[in-house]
Amino acid sequence: MDKINVQPAEGKLGILCVGLGAVTSTFMVGTLMARKGLAQPIGSLSQLAKIRVGRGESKQYKKINEIVPLASLNDIVFGAWDIFEDNAYESAMHAEVLKEKDINPVKDELVNIKPMKAVFDHNFVKRLNGTNIKEGKSRWDLMEQVREDIRRFKEENNCNRIVVIWAASTEIYVPMAEEHMSVEALEKAMKEDMKEVVPPSICYAYAAILEGCPFIMGAPNLCVDIPAMWELSKQHNVPIAGKDFKTGQTMMKTVLAPALKTRMLGLSGWFSTNILGNRDGEVLDDPDNFKTKEVSKLSVIETILDDEEYPELYKDIYHKVRINYYPPRNDDKEGWDNLDIFGWMGYHMQIKVDFLCKDSILAAPLLLDLVLFSDLAKRAGMSGIQTWLSFYLKSPMHDFEHKPIHDLSEQFAMLKNQIRLLGGYEADQEID
């Protein structure tokens, strides 16, 4: 088969992160340590995983960067926007995710990563108050300021390419509106400063796309999950991906729910609750912000377990999700799940899961993979929604004509097949 023309990963890759909190600082420290050979990038498929290419006698297992040309960690340059002025070193120390001994070897590089002023609207994240904030006449004006930031960063750091990734807080729930249905309508809303339908995240996504930079939404914000952004990304040949990093509890759901369906076991109820004490937990303690996250988390089970196809098993599932802010835990999140299931002759059983995890430790490798794969997609001439990156996301983006894929094994197959195609190999579903 003909190999897709993928441009080589030449020169420096700028990674601009929206938000310089626990997740971003952990991502930066780990990446910088890994490229010095001082830490292992565990959890990152792009750095560690081998996948099969070819079949039969020609079957081989290769690392992903042997199949497709990924940017080297040595070529990465970090930048960020944040509502607080702390540099990456101060942020990493304040987050208390990593030990000081694991931060200090890259302290000099971290100190030099100073956040640019952020686009911020207190009405969308009421629990946070920052001082490092842009001022502008309208959302359009603020978007143009972000564009200027991207251009300046690219020039000052001699970057060939830029990827922008949102790793900031969850905004309040914003339902899709008429202003989101076309580029023309959205631009009009931005220029008229219709704040209620244009959250700050849209300013970053719009700016990135206009500058030709792939954009990744790592929170459950509306943002790129609207027709206007799908249209804009196609117009400018830019890949977009989202939404909401799939880290702890939802990752377990995408494994357990398909297991129930595969065995034709019934589910009557699924109760999920979390405690965490980082900035994300504080923001999600606000009911308006939690609603955005709740919609993202609730969609997983309903999509995997098809109640129309199997009403006798999944018609009346009671699914409840809770997130509780608990400061003593800081970034150490704990997720409890209780599943009430039933089997042969309708007899009831239960499954209990208690996942004690570090949110940022699970998220950091996702950021690395999403950034490198989005850059790869851009160099391969791909644009619009990158469905093959659903593996990393809680609420995978999709247009009105398609349903999202939530089953982790199916998502993994999609990811591997896209990498095979980009490497000039055949896509297939053969068991590895």
Q: Which domains does the chain have, with CATH numbers?
A: 12-245+361-422 (3.40.50.720), 249-357 (3.30.360.10)
Which residue is associated with the tokens 């070897």? 105
Hey, what's the torsion of the CAs at 282, 283, 287, 290, to 10 degrees?
Answer: -110
CB 325 within 8 A of CB 284: yes
Quote the strand ranges of 113-236, DSSP E: 116-117, 159-166, 215-217
Question: Are 214 and 240 in contact, with CB atoms under 8 Å apart?
Answer: yes
- What confidence score (pLDDT) does residue 432 get? 58
CA-based nearest residue to 207, from 264, 144, 156, 151: 144
Q: Are 114 and 84 in contact (CB under 8 A)?
A: no
Taking the C-alpha atoms of residue 371 and residue 386, their distance in angstroms, rounded to an integer, is: 12
Neighbouring residues of 189: CB distance < 8 A, sequence distance ≥ 6 = 139, 179, 197, 198
Predicted pLDDT of residue 1: 54
Nearest to 430 by CA among 45, 62, 54: 54
Q: Which of 289, 147, 264 is nearest to 204 (CA)?
A: 147
**Taking a C-beta distance cutoff of 8 angstroms, is the pair 90, 103 a contact?**
no
CA distance 187 to 198: 10
- Chunk the chain into consecutive blocks of 10 residues (it has 432) and report each block's average pLDDT, rounded to whole numbers: 85 98 97 98 98 92 97 98 98 96 98 98 93 97 98 98 96 96 98 98 98 97 96 98 91 93 97 88 79 74 90 95 90 93 98 94 97 98 97 92 90 96 88 59
Provide the pLDDT for residue 2.
Answer: 63
Q: Which residues of 189-202 are buried (b: 16+ CB within 10 A; e: fewer)?
A: bbeeeeeebbbbbb
